[in-house]
Amino acid sequence: MVEQTAAELAAAEKIFGDRLELAQRYVEHLATSGTERGLIGPREVPRLWSRHVLNCAVVVEYIANGARVADVGSGAGLPGLTFAIARPGLQMTLIEPLERRVTWLEEVIMDLGLDNVDVVRSRAELAVGKVTADVVTARAVSALNNLVGLTIPLLDGEGEVLAIKGRSAAEEVEKAAKVIKRLGGVKTDVVLAGEGLLEEPTTVVRIVVRGR
């Protein structure tokens, strides 16, 4: 079992509540079959909780319960599966083009008994019209000026993009400003998730999109 520090356990209990055991099982999948199949690097195993699972899961505070959420380039289910575990009321769609990752995601979803998650094997741009979401999320997929073209169209004219980013978030927003506006973005903020809960809060670019 992947060990948790006292701080990681306290944060996980607050985020996942009575579904903590599901989150722990998910982390075991990441540490075992996830590394064996190349979805997670072996060196990341000691940092799975802090750097990956908790870092992603805190972003759910920006999502209304009952929302339809699409996770673009879901990979190992980060952040999509952390949201589905923390918030069973969400309707999650994981969009992932690589078959081996899709197979792994489906196996994990089945093992955890998650009935609020669908997996769509597709590139994001080809999923437009097939997947419609209120919120689109992404992590480590692409630079923002490219990412907005993959995420905003999935909102069908209205909703929010929540892109998990690093310290260069403000710089990326500046470079992507014109593209965001052209695609219907009316407000873009760099916000923090998990303040007071994580040692290093998660930086998120939040784009509000409204139909014209």
- Distance (Å) of CA 139 to CA 10, 12, 77, 108, 193: 24, 20, 10, 19, 14
pLDDT digits (tens, 9 = 90+) for 144-168: 999 999 999 999 889 999 999 988 8
- Distance (Å) of CA 103 to CA 37, 108, 109, 111, 140: 11, 9, 10, 12, 20
Alpha carbons 94 and 36: distance in angstroms, whole number: 21
Q: Are 59 and 136 in contact (CB under 8 A)?
A: no
Give the 3-state secondary structure of the chain: CCCCCHHHHHHHHHHHHHHHHHHHHHHHHHHHHHHHCCCCCHHHHHHHHHHHHHHHHHHHHHCCCCCEEEEECCCCCCCHHHHHHHCCCCEEEEEECCHHHHHHHHHHHHHHCCCCEEEEECCHHHHECCECCCEEEEECCCCHHHHHHHHHHHHCCCEEEEEEECCCHHHHHHHHHHHHHHCCEEEEEEEEECCCCCCCCEEEEEEEECCC
pLDDT digits (tens, 9 = 90+) for 76-92: 999 999 999 999 999 99
pLDDT of residue 211: 66
pLDDT digits (tens, 9 = 90+) for 15-43: 999 999 999 999 999 999 999 999 999 88
pLDDT digits (tens, 9 = 90+) for 182-208: 999 999 999 999 999 999 999 999 999
Sketch out the chain's domains with CATH numbers: 6-209 (3.40.50.150)
Tokens of 38: 């190349």
Has residue 67 got a pLDDT over 60?
A: yes
Q: What is the pTM of this model?
A: 0.95
Q: Are 163 and 178 in contact (CB under 8 A)?
A: no
